[in-house]
Amino acid sequence: MDKDVPLVVPEVNPEEIPNNHGIIANPNCSTIQAVIPLKALDDKYKIKRIVYSTYQAVSGAGQEGVNDLKNGLEGLAPKKFPYQIVNNCIPHIDKFDSNGYTFEEEKMINETRKILKNPDLKITATTVRVPVENSHSESINVEFEKNFDLKELKNVLENTNGVIVQDDIENNIYPLATNATGHDESFVGRIRRDYSVESGINFWCVSDNIRKGAASNAVQIIQKLIELDNQ
């Protein structure tokens, strides 16, 4: 991650686009979907700490990952993953660093800090590959510096560009990978207070890693560039 290359999610930090020197970077797919709701919450309540636990689809590993899932259902050995992905959750995405974290986990930590413009933000992450074809799911725990009213917090998310809140537990409504696939938004639900800290929440976040996590985010950056050139 080059400090001189803007890392952009258009709903979050479009002001960074003009600061490029010929290159604008797409963040990691798992980071993109998370920072959209997190930026809105950070603006309102000031984030103190984030704990990421991801459940990432095989499409994030490319066609070979999808093939491993489909072939595994036929009893064939994996070619992309170190173990069969069928009936397994593999807590290993990308290579391991000497500190025990994977590069995927370190990317989420460092990219979130850069995008939220808080290099000292406390973040930890565990990233897991799961037997889902498309759309990443994430459990996100957030601790705030400020107190909050839960109803108000949900309203903040409901009015955030790029976020769709699906949070009706009485009717079993919450984000699912099958529903997020084919869309560009981050779907957020299971929003609830974390009673283990003074001011914290848990929420579930799901997004199409192929669309918003890759292609759509790049297209949106280009659209913003065109808008700026026409001003």
* Res. 1 pLDDT band, cuts 50 70 90: confident
136 is catalytic: yes
Rounded Cα distance, 35 and 31, in Å: 6
The owner of tokens 């979907």 is 33
Q: What pLDDT score was predicted for residue 21?
A: 84
C-alpha distances in Å from residue 62, one per residue of 183, 191, 217: 19, 31, 17
Rounded Cα distance, 51 and 205, in Å: 13
Rounded Cα distance, 112 and 47, in Å: 12
Q: What pLDDT score was predicted for residue 19?
A: 86
For domain 27-147+192-213, say whether CATH 3.30.360.10 is its number: yes
**What are the residue boundaries of the structural domains of the chain, listed by start?**
27-147+192-213
The owner of tokens 């979130």 is 112
pLDDT (average), residues 104-130? 98
pLDDT (average), residues 70-81? 97
* Res. 4 pLDDT band, cuts 50 70 90: confident
29 is catalytic: yes
Say which of 92, 136, 183, 205 is annotated catalytic: 136
* Res. 226 pLDDT band, cuts 50 70 90: confident
DSSP-derived letter for residue 86 is T
What does the pLDDT look like over 24-45, one tens digit per residue?
999 999 999 999 999 999 999 9
